[in-house]
Each structure stands twice: as C-alpha cells, then as structure tokens.
Amino acid sequence: MALKVGVIGTGAIGQEHIRRLHTKLNGSTVVALNDINLEGAQKVADTYGGITVHKTYQDVIDDPSVDALVITSWGPAHEEQVLAAIKAGKPVFVEKPMATTAEGAKRIVDAEIAFGKKLVQVGFMRRYDAGYKLLKDVIDAGKIGDPLVLHCAHRNPTVPEAYVTYMAINDTAIHEIDVLHWLIDDEWTSAQVIMPKATRNTHAKLKDPQILILTSQKGIRVVLEIFVNCQYGYDIQCEVVGETGIAKLPEPMSIQMRSEEKLSNTILNDWKVRFIESYDVELQDWIDSTVKGEVNGPTAWDGYLASVTSDACVKAQETGAIEPIVTPTRPAFYN
C-alpha cells in the first residue's frame, strides 16, 4: 500500500517533491495539496489528476486519506504547520529551515517529545548526497588525519528581490551549518560574519557576499563564503584540510570538452539539478522509514540545533563580533 501524502506549499521545491513522490519514487502517492496561492496549487494538481486541493493547510492535515505530510511552504509558515501535523499525530517531512528561530524550533521539539513519538524529518538533503557521504567516509577512516580547517563556498547565480541579508544564513548557510557538523561529528561553539566589498549585483537590503567563520568544540574552523549573486552558476565547494592530507567534495559529473581552442567543463546553475539525486534518496528514505513508523533522517533535534547556530550567525551579522553558540543538551528521546 502506497503512503498517501499531503503537500503544503506548491512553489519551486513543492512541485519538485510532488513530482518525485507521485511519479518517481517507490511506495508513495500525492493525494492532497494546499498553497495560499490556491490557483497555483490547482494548476499543479491538474497536471496529474486525482489530487484534491484543499482551501487551508489544516484541511490537508485533517484529510483522513492523508497518511503523512510534506511541508514545502515558505520558512515562516513551517513552525505552525509542523506543530499542527504533530497535534494530528501525522508524520511530517519539512523543508529547511524547520523554523525561522531557535525558539520556534524548540516549540516543535517540545511538542514532539510531549506527543511521545518521533514524527518530524527535516529536509537537510546534503546528508544524502553521494559526494558528502564519500567525504565523510574519508574523514571517518582517518585518511587525512584530524580535520583542522574547512574551506567552503555556497554560491547561487542570483536570488529573488525578497531575499535579504539574514537569509544568507537561515535560508542558505543553514545547509552548511547542518551538514558540516555532521561531516566532522562536532558541535559549533562560535560564529563570526565578515562582510567584504559588496557586489554591484546586489541591492540595499542584501549584503553579498558574506564570509561566515564557524568554530567547533574540537577547535576546527570553517570559512564559508556565501555569495548568492555570483552570476556564473550554482556552485557548492567544500575542502577539508586535515593533519596529513586534504579531501575535497567531488564536482558534479560533467563532460570535459576540448573544442574551439578551449578545455572546458559545464557548471550547473540550479540547486534542483545539483542535488537532484540527493532529494530522491532523501525522500525515498523518508517514505520507507515513515511506512515503518520511524524517522531515519535528520530529526527535529537536528532542525533545532541548526536554528540555534543560525540565530547566533544572524546576531553575528548584526554585531560584527564573535558570537558564542551554546549547544543544548540532547534529550534521551533523540538518542
């Protein structure tokens, strides 16, 4: 029996996930949708047929034919919608950020613990990426000694006008905040944000690029360049400097060309394509574990930890100072 999924939010990634859940992955079907843009949701439903569009997100959650939820609305709506799913006792996959503040994320953790069973998985898909997994294997096997410094870049070609300075952290760098602490198996202790000369391709409300420096409990330093109007492509870089060697995230596969007196490789320009396989693996794992009544991927606790760090980074953007990050104690429920 296929897992019957209700999706809340039918924008860019909502449409991507609906396609995967309905037509690509094994063991799931989309039965209900909602978006505040009802017309948009209806258009998406019409491309498949047989999917009910509900007037409110609560109607999707309450729909008795819906076994589990996927929340792909915009970040500020996530907390309320996840809490409603927990209240209804339905498993829920929520895109990052799980909540836009640590306080909001904590309310989700508290609600899940009070419910007594894990229901929430957060869309930190990089943990499912083949390249990051290989990098983790190399580090865990001790092949470069202890990691010391990570040089990373998160570059988008452009972002919409509504994207402003703090979103470089809670919309963009939140991926590195999560995946890098998983990669080095460590927790963050401080954050600093440096603002270099701004590109002429940004606007008054967005400082771009930014450099985020994170320090971990073991003293490992991450230097992350966040550059969301880089123009040339969607480019994710991660190089780990260890005591005896260096390990680098593989580039996405691309044909090397020798033509017109040039040696060249294509650079991707879209997150949808760059992480297409990671999203597939991530959601297949979510379907399989949800059917078993388990949460196998990043939990609400992971979402909360990321928000604690994200809040400190946003503060560091404002103060220019090195801001401390205090990792909360993990409750036994999340062991």
Binding region for ligand NAI (CB under 6 A): 8-14, 34-37, 40, 57, 72-75, 77, 95-96, 123, 125, 171, 271, 275
Query: Could you tell me the smallest distance in angstroms from the CB atom of residue 171 to ligand ISE?
Result: 5
The number of beta carbons lying within 10 Å of the beta carbon of residue 273 is 11
Our CB check for ligand ISE shows the closer of 164 and 241 to be 164
CA 302 to chain centre: 11
**Contact partner at residue 172 from ligand ISE, ligand NAI, none, CB < 5 to 8 Å by partner kind:** ligand ISE
Nearer to ligand ISE, 126 or 181 (CB): 126
* C-alpha span between 208 and 195 (Å, rounded): 8
Q: Which residues bind ligand ISE (CB under 6 A)?
A: 156, 171-172, 175, 228, 271
Going by C-alpha positions, the residue among 151, 271, 248, 161 that lies closest to residue 208 is 161
Helix (H, G, I), strand (E, B) or coil at 301: helix
What is the nearest approach in angstroms of ligand ISE to the Cβ of residue 245? 28
Closest approach, Cβ 218 to ligand ISE, in A, equals 27
Q: Is 55 left (phi over 0), alpha (psi -120 to 50) or beta?
A: alpha
CB of 17 to ligand NAI, least distance (A): 9
Helix or strand holding residue 76 (H, E)? helix 75-87
Residue 303 binds what, of ligand NAI, ligand ISE, none (CB under 5 to 8 Å, by partner type)? Answer: none
Among ligand NAI, ligand ISE, none, residue 73 binds (CB under 5-8 Å by kind): ligand NAI
Toward ligand NAI, which CB reaches closer, 73 or 190?
73
Q: Coil, strand or helix: which one is 245?
A: coil
Minimum CB distance to ligand NAI, residue 93 (Å): 11
β-pair partners for 211: 194, 225
| CB-based contact 195:210 (threshold 8 Å) | yes
